[in-house]
Amino acid sequence: MVFDIYTLVEVTWILFPIYAANGLTPVMMRFLKGHPIDNGRMLGKNRLLGDGKSWEGLFFGTFMGIVIAVVEMLAFPYLPWDLSPVALSIIIMTPLVGFLLGFGAMMGDVVASFFKRRMNRQRGALVPLLDQLDFLAGAFLMLSLVVVVEWGWIILGTIITLVFHVIANVIAFKIGVKKTPW
């Protein structure tokens, strides 16, 4: 079953480090001038990756993934797992798992930018689905190196991420942080 509360708990546990990596990096990079990963290099008539992909962002996002995974690792013994009538497949958080989730998220995002530039979309141009799911795909791919990733997590994680994205943008629009509700 995918649409049950158990899968929801299992996937939320995995999403925290991923969202921290992907969501906090743009906030952090507002205060920093990053060094572009592509070093300004071109491929054809477009940038290889663009100024939106910096070493600082890659490093910070990966680091945030590790930090949140360690917080979960330390919190694990104190959480009320016995409330669940069935045994949950909660993945064991370690700094390595945090690294894989954070780095995977950031690399998924880098790969997406590579393809966006090849499609002649410049920095910041919206490509629906790719923009919202690149980091999730990258994180799950890296996680699969050390954990058997369940399809339910991927399906529910995708749905949650898309819904979360819509809600977050509408709120950002209403409070005036964004000019458009998408």
**Interacting residues with ligand CTP (CB under 6 A):** 25-26, 29, 34, 50, 52-54, 57-58, 106, 109, 113, 116, 123-125
> Which residue's Cβ lies closest to ligand CTP?
57
> How far apart are CB 29 and ligand CTP at their closest, in Å?
4
Q: Which is nearer to ligand CTP, 118 or 174 (CB)?
A: 118
Q: Which is nearer to ligand CTP, 123 or 178 (CB)?
A: 123
Nearest to 142 by CA among 6, 8, 17, 35: 17
Q: Which is nearer to ligand CTP, 58 or 139 (CB)?
A: 58
Q: Which is nearer to ligand CTP, 45 or 82 (CB)?
A: 45
* Tokens found for residue 35: 């060094």
> How far apart are CB 179 and ligand CTP at their closest, in Å?
15
* Tokens found for residue 146: 């050390």
> How far apart are CB 50 and ligand CTP at their closest, in Å?
5
Q: Which is nearer to ligand CTP, 5 or 119 (CB)?
A: 119
> How far apart are CB 82 and ligand CTP at their closest, in Å?
39
Q: Which is nearer to ligand CTP, 5 or 35 (CB)?
A: 35
> How far apart are CB 83 and ligand CTP at their closest, in Å?
37
- Are 99 and 66 in contact by the 8 Å Cβ rule? The answer is yes
* Tokens found for residue 30: 């507002």
> How far apart are CB 35 and ligand CTP at their closest, in Å?
9
